[in-house]
């Protein structure tokens, strides 16, 4: 099953897509600082075969989510919040940053990196090494310096693997028990 994680950026961060194919990180790509519709068109060839794409709508991500939804892709919006839980709601996912970080940490030993270009592989490994816990009133997980876009995209894809079956069942029920392609619009 192909599942995508999409960490949305606009001006200072780049939108980052990471694809899991079973336990293999099969693709990582970043879209430049371009408009959301242009990002959607750029990413479409990679996204169209995914079972689900978890799109971070925290902050600026709503526009890209809507552009991808217009392309009839299997997208599920996710909001990253403080906390240690994940909840699949009515048409959206809420993920606690602690949950996301723990999911990444516990899943890493089982994952392999596929045929990804060398520069992207190096950048991914740098971001993983740079991701750390910040103690305080609540635990924070973030990059020491620089970006964590690839790491967050990985966490979103892993969350997609966890919720896929329940999400698919809800979609099926919402469409009156018919597959989405046969649903009456």
Residue 21, Cβ density class (10 Å: 0-12 exposed, 13-18 middle, ≥19 buried): middle
Q: What is the pLDDT of residues 156-181, one digit of tens each?
A: 999 999 999 889 888 877 776 655 44
Is the confidence at residue 182, as pLDDT, over 50? no
Q: Which two tokens stand for residue 184?
A: 């009456």
Mean pLDDT in residue range 83-95: 92
Range of the structural domain that residue 100 is part of: 2-173
Residue 93 within a domain: yes
Mean pLDDT in residue range 26-38: 89
Q: What is the mean pLDDT of the chain?
A: 85
Mean pLDDT in residue range 76-92: 92
Q: What is the pLDDT of residues 113-172, one digit of tens each?
A: 999 999 998 988 888 887 766 556 555 565 555 567 888 999 999 999 999 988 988 887
Residue 112 within a domain: yes
Q: How many domains does the chain have?
A: 1
Residue 164 within a domain: yes
Is the confidence at residue 71, as pLDDT, over 90? yes
Residue 183 within a domain: no
The domain that contains 84 carries what CATH number?
Answer: 3.30.420.240
Residue 129 within a domain: yes
Residue 178 within a domain: no
From 2, 6, 16, 1, select the one nearest 147 (Cα to Cα).
16
Which pLDDT score, from 0 to 100, does residue 185 have? 32
Model confidence, pTM: 0.86
3-state secondary structure at position 43: helix
Residue 181 within a domain: no
Q: Which two tokens stand for residue 145?
A: 């310096």
Which pLDDT score, from 0 to 100, does residue 28 have? 94
Residue 185 within a domain: no
């Amino acid at each position: 099953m192909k599942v995508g994680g999409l960490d949305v950026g606009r001006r200072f961060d780049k939108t980052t897509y990471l694809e899991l194919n079973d336990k293999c990180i099969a693709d990582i790509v970043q879209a430049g600082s371009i408009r959301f519709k242009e990002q959607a068109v750029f990413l479409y060839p990679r996204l169209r075969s995914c079972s689900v794409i978890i799109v971070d709508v925290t902050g600026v991500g709503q526009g890209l989510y809507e552009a991808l939804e217009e392309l009839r892709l299997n997208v599920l919006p996710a909001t990253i919040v403080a906390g240690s839980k994940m909840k699949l709601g009515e048409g959206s996912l809420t993920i606690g940053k602690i949950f996301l970080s723990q999911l990444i940490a516990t899943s890493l030993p089982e994952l392999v990196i596929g045929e990804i270009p060398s520069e992207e592989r190096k950048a991914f490994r740098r971001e993983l090494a740079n991701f750390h816990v910040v103690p305080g009133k609540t635990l924070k997980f973030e990059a020491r310096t620089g970006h964590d876009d690839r790491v967050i995209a990985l966490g979103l894809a892993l969350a997609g693997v966890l919720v896929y079956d329940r999400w698919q069942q809800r979609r099926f029920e919402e469409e009156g028990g018919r597959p989405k392609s046969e649903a009456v619009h």
